[in-house]
Chain A
C-alpha cells in the first residue's frame, strides 16, 4: 500500500526549533515529488513547497521562502519540514502529500502533523 506517515503532534515554545517528518512507503520514494501544505485552524490549504527526493530539487512558495526548510533523506524514504525559530503564527496542521505521476496534483496525503506553538 502506498502511504505517507507523518510524525506526531508537537507542542513548542516560541523561538524553539522543530523538524517534522513524512515517511513514504509502498513506492519508489525517489521518483515522486513530495509537497508540504499548511492549514491554520479553521482555515484553508496553503502550499509551502515541494521537493524531489531523487535529487533534492526544492521549490518554495514565495510566502514561505526563508521561513522554513524542506529536505529529504532518500536512504530512509523520509521528507522533512523544519523551522529554526517558531512563532505562535506557525500553529497549524501540516500535511505532506505526494504528487501524481500523471498530473500536477497530490493524490497521496499524510495524516497530518499538528504543531502548536504557545508560551
Chain B
C-alpha cells in the first residue's frame, strides 16, 4: 500500500500570502492518479485538483497542482479567507486508494 505523507502538518499564513503544501508518496505514483481535496469544518471534502495538475470544475485558478513520481505540491497563489481549511492528497494505484493525513491551513 502506498503511504502519502503531507507536510507541514499545520501551516499558519495570512490572507494574501502564498501557500505551498507538500505530499510525498512512499513509492512512485502515476500523475494521473494524484488528487487534492479541501475540507472545511462540518462539510464533506471537495475535489480541487485531479491528475496532479488539473483543476476540478468551479475551482478558482489561484489553486494549482504540480509534481510527479513521489513528490507533489498544491499551491494557493494568494490566500482568500475562505481557503483556510484542511487539505488532503489522495492517490489511486493497484486497486487501492490512500489519503494523506492532511495539512491544516490556519489564519496567522
Are A110 and B98 within 8 A (Cβ)?
no
Complex contact A59–B44 (CB within 8 A): no
Within 8 A of B (CB), among A60-113: 61-62, 95, 97, 100, 102-107, 109-112
Q: Is the CB of A109 within 8 A of B35?
A: no
Query: Complex Cα distance A47/B45, Å?
Result: 13
Identify which of B92, B98, B100 gathers the most chain A CB atoms within 10 Å of its CB: B92
B56 contacts A107, CB within 8 Å? yes
Q: How far is the CB of B51 from chain A (nearest CB, A)?
A: 5
Interface size class of A (residues with CB under 8 A): 20 to 34
Q: Given A35-B97, A44-B88, A62-B1: A106 and B47 within 8 A (CB)?
A: yes
**Among candidates A102, A104, A111, residue contacting B92 with C-beta atoms closer than 8 Å:** A104
B25 to chain A, nearest CB (A): 14
Does B102 lie within 8 Å of A44, measured CB to CB?
Answer: yes
Asked if B50 and A100 sit within 8 Å, CB to CB, the answer is: yes
Does B44 contact A110, Cβ atoms closer than 8 Å? yes
Question: In this assembly, does B90 line the interface, its C-beta being within 8 Å of a C-beta of chain A?
Answer: yes
| Chain A residues near B88 (CB-CB < 8 A) | 44-45
Closest 5 CB pairs of A and B: A104-B92, A105-B35, A109-B44, A105-B50, A103-B50
